[in-house]
């Protein structure tokens, strides 16, 4: 079905994204079934396509909004204010002023707490605090971080007294994205809950919410081992059972972006030219760096940072095998080619000297793992090639 839809769209569009509703729904169900009692927030930044938001918010997810625009977008897609959490460093007074009506603001620094207090005037405001904890995924020790307030400083802020119109109603802790080791994630949830208990003790009352951040990764490469979400969920919920019994009114959140949408997305482009130079065959595709930046980004990161660093670049997962590229209808004949894009820069390279099914001008080509951090990160203004369109294929095969 998806190939037919792609070919239909390709009659009108040169390059485009396709997101499959069925894949998004499958991922959502996996999470919901595995983590009974947890509420989920969708990290809008990874894919804010309007039809994608409708599917995800329609299934009951709240919003992890990283900007005022994402707050408003979520609200306009029907998410209640009580389920929109605005967490980002460096919010302006204007951001705060407008967001107060549509979201729960997560303060990212002491200055931000003061700013929220001053903007709120004589209104009492419930806020969350993003905490930079005294641990990482790997260690029982904190690290310097631009995100959040160091754990010891949060305790001090509470001791010294918060502004009168500010009430801390929840905490947000996110230590790492794209984690495929479920034991580390489970232990991380445990540490966050212990931290929440320490904060509650200091505050002298129970928290309304604990946002345990994101972290659930996806298998980008064929060598990656997909996370066993069911096992992770079961183990985490068993570990948190006592806490939950004593905190019936505390909401526990997990935020997630790429797990829900990454695999739903495919980027489609086509061969615009093919040539030979000094014995090398070049296949030239349309709108690659500008339409789907990851392949070029992988090469740029590798050339500056060395290949050892290519996996850690958040949020653009930059390993060489973080996507696969192939013709939509593959020939049985193979040839070694270098695949490049049609931008006037040498950086627009997708893959060098790889064996591919033989391609001709006009052939459609698909790149997978393109549902998250793909459209939004690609520099579509560059070279004025035009904005690339996105389509959702519904479970019924309708193209939105
Ligand atoms: C604070 C925070 N929450 C959520 C996410 C979403 O992560 P993912 O898309 O891997 O689920 C990120 C990613 O950068 C993040 O920084």
pLDDT digits (tens, 9 = 90+) for 190-213: 999 999 999 999 999 999 999 999
Q: Give residue 215 CA to ligand 1 midpoint distance, Å.
A: 7
pLDDT of residue 319: 74
* Closest C-alpha to ligand 1, atom 4: 214
b/e 320-348 (16+ beta carbons within 10 angstroms → b):
eebbebebbeeeeeeeebbbbbbbeeeeb
Percent pLDDT > 90 in the chain is 86
pLDDT of residue 310: 54
- pTM attached to this predicted model: 0.95
Residue recorded with tokens 């979520």: 74
Rounded Cα gap, residues 54 and 52, in angstroms: 5
Q: Give residue 43 CA to ligand 1 midpoint distance, Å.
A: 6
pLDDT of residue 11: 95
Q: Is the CB of 294 under 6 A from ligand 1?
A: no
Closest CA to 179 of 312, 347, 352, 294: 312
pLDDT of residue 306: 66
Closest CA to 209 of 177, 172, 157, 170: 170
pLDDT of residue 313: 64
pLDDT of residue 1: 83
pLDDT of residue 258: 96
pLDDT of residue 279: 95
Percent pLDDT > 70 in the chain is 97
Q: Is the CB of 256 under 6 A from ligand 1?
A: yes
Where the chain has pLDDT below 70, the residues are 306-314, 317-318
pLDDT of residue 56: 98
Q: Give residue 123 CA to ligand 1 midpoint distance, Å.
A: 31
pLDDT of residue 304: 73
């Amino acid at each position: 079905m998806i190939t037919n839809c792609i070919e239909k769209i390709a009659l009108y569009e040169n390059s485009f994204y396709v997101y499959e509703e069925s894949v998004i729904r499958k991922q959502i169900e996996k999470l919901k079934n595995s983590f009974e009692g947890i509420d989920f927030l969708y990290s809008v930044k990874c894919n804010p396509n309007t039809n994608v938001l409708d599917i995800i918010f329609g299934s009951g997810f709240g919003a992890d909004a990283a900007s005022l625009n994402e707050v408003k977008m979520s609200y306009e897609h029907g998410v209640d204010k009580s389920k929109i959490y605005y967490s980002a460093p460096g919010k302006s007074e204007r951001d705060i002023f407008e967001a107060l009506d549509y979201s729960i603001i997560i303060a990212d620094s002491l200055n931000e707490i003061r700013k929220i207090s001053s903007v709120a005037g004589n209104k009492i405001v419930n806020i969350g605090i993003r905490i930079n904890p005294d641990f990482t995924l790997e260690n029982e020790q904190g690290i310097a971080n631009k995100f959040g307030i160091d754990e010891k400083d949060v305790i001090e802020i509470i001791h010294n007294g918060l502004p009168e119109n500010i009430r801390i109603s929840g905490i947000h802790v996110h230590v790492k994205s794209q984690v495929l080791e479920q034991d580390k994630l489970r232990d991380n949830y445990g540490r966050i809950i212990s931290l929440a208990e320490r904060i509650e003790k200091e505050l002298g009352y129970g928290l309304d919410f604990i946002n345990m951040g994101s972290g659930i990764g996806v298998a980008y490469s064929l060598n990656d081992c997909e996370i066993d979400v069911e096992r992770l969920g079961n183990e985490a919920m068993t570990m948190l059972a006592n806490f939950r019994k004593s905190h019936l009114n505390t909401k526990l959140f997990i935020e997630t972006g790429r797990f829900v949408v990454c695999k739903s997305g495919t980027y489609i482009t086509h061969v615009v030219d093919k040539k030979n130079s000094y014995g090398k065959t070049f296949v030239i595709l349309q709108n690659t760096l500008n339409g789907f930046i990851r392949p070029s980004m992988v090469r740029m990161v590798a050339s500056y940072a060395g290949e050892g660093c290519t996996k850690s670049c958040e949020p653009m997962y930059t390993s060489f095998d973080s996507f696969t590229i192939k013709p939509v209808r593959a020939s049985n004949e193979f040839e070694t080619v270098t695949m490049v894009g049609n931008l006037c820069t040498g950086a627009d390279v997708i893959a060098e000297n790889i064996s591919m099914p033989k391609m001709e001008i006009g052939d459609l080509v698909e790149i997978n793992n393109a549902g998250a951090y793909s459209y939004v990160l690609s520099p579509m203004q560059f070279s004025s090639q035009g904005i690339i369109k996105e389509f959702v294929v519904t479970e019924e095969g309708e193209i939105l």
